[in-house]
Amino acid sequence: MPETNLFTTELTVTDIEFVWNGIYMPRSNHVDTRGYHGLVLIRDDPHAYIFDDGTVLKAEPGYILYLPKGSSYRVSDVKSCDCVAINFQILEEPHFPPLRFPAGNQMSAYSELFQTASRFWDSKSIGYRTKIKSLLYQILYIMQKNYHPDYVPSSLAFKLNTTMEYIGEHYTEGDITVRYLAEMAEMSEVYFRKQFHRLYGMAPLQYIKQLRLNKAIELLESDMYPVHEVAHRVGYASEYYFCREFKRITGLSPMKFRKEKMDRHFYQVSAHAGGTKTEEE
């Protein structure tokens, strides 16, 4: 019988339990019957998950771990973990084994998707759970494609990874055209778009916009720059166009996003001072 795992089954995500981004401090080194599925992108603080059935997953930087619902395990050698995690429920209830998956050359793509999910979880804007589901599907899509080693030639992957590196270094410098990226990869625009989406689960310009959005959110949260300067720093020549794109994606204008972020921070600090548990606790 063929093996059933996370990459051989079409999943229907029914709910997002929570998203974590940062230093996680486990309350206990043992988890008994986990209540939801989880994908964890490890950034630092290596440790290991030792499951009751004897499976051992080494949690090391650059790996994504899948922790199945219903599993029991203990965590060794960890006092804290720098990670991004998406915890979710699915309609299907098969018994999937735990998995350790290398992010490899797609680390930047995975990281952006995970961190964008974290931003939307923190924003609690209208439709944020739906948006996180779509990001989770993109992550699963890229993982499923990379799980099958014959899906793309290594030479093609190398060319696309070169363009990804260029995007990562220059996305704040203004317009990056698909035509220029295709020429860099020595492909036609149509073929480049198709293969980029095939490898990364999104269109090239969508990926660039996502990078700019993450950077814009980071700058807005710092409260150090006016909106027009944030727009310029993330590669938009027009403040109006930046504000329109930001609202289209997040559901909030940059000013309203900044205000709500500050209001939430004030509430969380006040709640903590008063002894009220936050959602993550």
- Claim to verify: residue 65 and residue 131 sit in the same structural domain: yes
The arithmetic mean of pLDDT across residues 66-94, rounded, is: 86
Q: Return the CATH number at 25.
A: 2.60.120.280
Q: Are strands 47-51 and 73-76 parallel, antiparallel or unpaired?
A: antiparallel
- Claim to verify: residue 253 and residue 170 sit in the same structural domain: yes
- Claim to verify: residue 183 and residue 238 sit in the same structural domain: yes
Cα(first)–Cα(last) distance of the chain, in Å?
42
Question: Measured between alpha carbons, how far is 64 from 139 in angstroms, rounded to an integer?
Answer: 10
- Claim to verify: residue 139 and residue 43 sit in the same structural domain: yes
Q: For residue 88, is pLDDT > 70? A: yes
Per-residue three-class SS string for 189-250: HHHHHHHHHHHHCCCHHHHHHHHHHHHHHHHHHHCCCCHHHHHHHCCCCCHHHHHHHHHHHH
Query: pLDDT, tens digit, for every residue of 16-43?
Result: 999 999 887 777 778 889 999 999 999 8
Query: pLDDT, tens digit, for every residue of 123-163?
Result: 888 889 999 999 999 899 888 877 765 555 667 777 888 88
Domain count, the chain: 2
- Residue 274 inside a domain? The answer is no
Quote the radius of gyration of the chain (alpha carbons, Å): 20
- Claim to verify: residue 123 and residue 176 sit in the same structural domain: no
Please work out, in degrees rounded to the nearest 5, the angle formed at the alpha carbon of residue 170 by the alpha carbons of 165 and 176: 100
Summary mean pLDDT of the chain: 82
Residue that finishes a domain, picked among 147, 169, 184: 147
- Claim to verify: residue 200 and residue 135 sit in the same structural domain: no
Whole domain around residue 166: which residue ranges? 154-264
- Residue 269 inside a domain? The answer is no
pLDDT in the model for residue 148: 63
Question: Measured between alpha carbons, how far is 66 from 48 in angstroms, rounded to an integer?
Answer: 13
pTM of the model: 0.62
- Claim to verify: residue 75 and residue 178 sit in the same structural domain: no
pLDDT in the model for residue 78: 65
- Claim to verify: residue 23 and residue 134 sit in the same structural domain: yes
- Claim to verify: residue 203 and residue 234 sit in the same structural domain: yes
Q: Return the CATH number at 196.
A: 1.10.10.60
The arithmetic mean of pLDDT across residues 40-69, rounded, is: 89
Query: pLDDT, tens digit, for every residue of 213-241?
Result: 888 888 888 888 999 999 999 999 899 99
- Residue 6 inside a domain? The answer is no
Region of residue 223 (left: phi > 0; alpha: psi -120 to 50; beta: else):
left
Query: Torsions phi, psi of 171, nearest 5?
Result: -65, -20
CB 36 within 8 A of CB 88: yes
- Claim to verify: residue 19 and residue 142 sit in the same structural domain: yes
What letter represents residue 159's amino acid?
Answer: K
CB 82 within 8 A of CB 115: no
Would you mind telling me the total number of residues written for the chain in this entry? 281
The arithmetic mean of pLDDT across residues 40-50, rounded, is: 89
